[in-house]
Amino acid sequence: MQGRQIRVRGQVQGVGFRPFVWQIARDYGVRGEVFNDGEGVLIRAAGGDLDAFQAALSARAPLLARVDAVEAVPIRFATAPDAFVIAPSAAGSAGTGVTPDAATCADCLAEIRSPGRRQGYGFTNCTHCGPRFTILNRLPYDRAQTTMAAFPICPACRAEYETPSDRRFHAQPVACPACGPRLWLEQGSHEVPGDPITGAARVLAAGGVVAIKALGGFHLACDAGNAAAVNLLRARKRRPAKPFAVMSREDRLGAFCAPMPDDLVLLRDPAAPVVLVQGTGALPETVAPGMACLGVMLPATPVHHLLMDAVPGPLVMTSGNLSGEPQAIGNDEARATLSAFADAFLMHDREIARRLDDSVERAAPRMVIRRARGRVPGTLPLPPGFGDAPQVLAVGGQMKSAICLLKGGQALLSHHLGELDEALTWEEFLKAIADYSALFDHRPALVACDAHPGYRATQHAHAMGLPVEEVHHHHAHLAACLAENLWPLDGGPVAGIVLDGTGLGMDGTIWGGELLLGDYSGMQRIAHLTPAPLVGGDMAAREPWRNLLVRLDQAGLGDLADRLFTPLPRAALRAAARAGLNAPACTSAGRLFDAVAAALGLCANRQTYEGEAAMRLEALAEGVTAAPYPFAGLDPAPMFHALDADLAAGSPPGVISARFHAGLAHAFAAPARALVEGGRARAVALSGGCFQNARLLAEMLAALDGVPVLTHRETPANDGGLALGQAVVAAARHLSGAESG
């Protein structure tokens, strides 16, 4: 019998795709079989309306599915199939997209709130929601390959699991109180009798801190409306000012924030990210000191929903770790590392296969600040021209570490790992390379890395015994933006405005405020911020006053610096700057933000977390419009003279901040526009960590009105996206060499 073999590629495992195929096969009178394998979903079909059946595979795909390709070839059946069946999974080369974890769906939420065998059960899920990547040990995605293998399925759950019309058909984590994971509350290393949710709510109401085992690791929670409880958590976690995320039921959001329609859409996304939402000032200032926005998230799991139902207001929900270290994922690990932080533990006995922080995102303008739980391991299609790219492993940078794998026309950008200076983060980095490589059967032909010889990731790349492609920091930023926007390999050059903290430049100096012209294969530096000495090296990033002093001295405003920083060691810093003693020249836009923030007294002496000064400066400009400060090309000296005048006139800090943001945007937009209008560039690409600043991004887009502009929307503009850029640059070089050869 003549038939058709259909390969479906994409995010098609763990999303109810096989029962969906079974159902549409019935609709169109098709007979045959469907099964999972290492490349996705494979269908062998005959009879009925095969054309309509094949079209429906993408047109009617399940909510959590993403169909990248549907490929069909004719086949002949030795024996005509008499029905359509869901066959057991097959092994094979791991090339498929693994589904990210998904927030509790409406049906499961209703189930845990209604009478029945899953009422109040914290591990309720179905094919439309629940844990995926955080429980997966290996492909193909079947229960035996996950951490749910430790929980033999009961007859009632098995009946659901084996019924194609049931929404739990082949839902690998399916469970109920009779057969699934168990939740309990611990205090003082002892289990607390009674309902664990009620007990946890009682600790929170008393001002305590509860460690909660979530999907990708432990959270630390406290009452967000209780300033004393929040300050207690800050003291224990040694996190004096960095904003905390807040979890709330959707119907209570209006009590403390003002979500716009786009915010609500993103909050309701199955990824359940932390979303930056305008605050109303109703919560204590200590939740997010100096910020106009709050990081808000809705409950992502049944345990979170049950807990939020049991408490009257929002909860602080932050990673269960000491600041800078990876979050705890194991029960014993949590007891050992979090006992000093938590007054109680809300525990369960399902293992977490890998650490995943919460994703952090903004709805408008759309941006991903931290790519993690709910977004990984979602793959990105490579742009046109990269179809023959080799398998590449890119190891990223030193800060906001992430790795990227290229394979089969897809890029897999890993979850956020952290700062590689931290010993535990370094272990996670090595584990991630082994984990992703094994999970996706990845065998790299070459390794891509940053050109900085001092980066641990760079050193590791050179020690792997494979060909290495070094990619300069800001070229990687530019290329990452191009790749996300599917800019073709032969799409021509673009003007890249790359603004960040610091990165090694092509001339051996420290860059960070750059106008580039280039593509995947190469780039040239067109213009840059006037360099200023980075006195004290890394110390300048921690103490914003250093950056202001050298910028004011450059502008001939040393007297202003003397007035602002009378008690600080100005003479020693100036002497070091003159002598070039641990004071390398630097064009960093990030340090320019620090300087302006210091002029307004924002954490001038010391930042308590990366980006604090710039984030506070951005918050001041909320709702304020003002004329841009002047620059002389990309020299900020005139800007500081105007700022001095505004300070003397008593201009509000918000006006000064707004004028700076607008001035910096106009200064870079003008020469970038000229490159496009002069025919040297086909578009402008915006990348680098400074473009996490929504105000700067909005000002830049306004200044570039009428010019094609590429921005980051699904990958981080910060160093979390570097590995993607490194990977495509390495691939482009390889493809260029192959063509020339």
| 367: CB partners within 8 A, 6+ apart | 361, 691, 692, 694, 697, 711, 712, 713, 716, 717
| Nearest CA among 699, 527, 544, 554 for reference residue 629 | 699
**Catalytic residue at 231?**
no
Tokens for 323, please give them. Answer: 């600041």
Which residue among 18, 354, 542, 591 is the active-site one?
Answer: 18
**DSSP bridge pairs for 387:** none
Closest of 691, 681, 688, 683 to residue 476, by C-alpha = 688
What's the rounded Cα separation, in Å, for the pair 140 and 449?
A: 30
226 is catalytic: no
Q: What is the DSSP letter of 328?
A: P
Q: Report d(CA 654, CA 640) in Å as an integer.
A: 16
Q: How far apart are CA 150 and CA 174, in angstroms?
A: 12
Helix (H/G/I), strand (E/B), else coil: 453: coil
CA nearest to 484, candidates 715, 271, 681: 715
Task: Tell me the sheet residues that pair with 498.
Answer: 514, 687
Kindly state the tokens that stand for 11.
Answer: 């995010």
Give phi and psi for 209, each to the nearest 5: -115, 130
In angstroms, the CA 372 to CA 738 distance is 35
Question: Widest CA span of the chain, in angstroms?
Answer: 92
Decide: 569 and 527 in contact? Cβ < 8 Å: no
| Alpha-carbon distances of 57 from 5, 309, 350, 422, 461, rounded to whole Å | 13, 38, 34, 46, 41
> Which two three-digit tokens encode residue 166?
């049931």
Rg of the chain (C-alpha set): 27
Pair of tokens at residue 632: 């002389």
Q: Tell me which of 36, 125, 693, 718 is the catalytic residue.
A: 36
Contact 459, 447 (CB under 8 A): no
State the catalytic residues: 18, 36
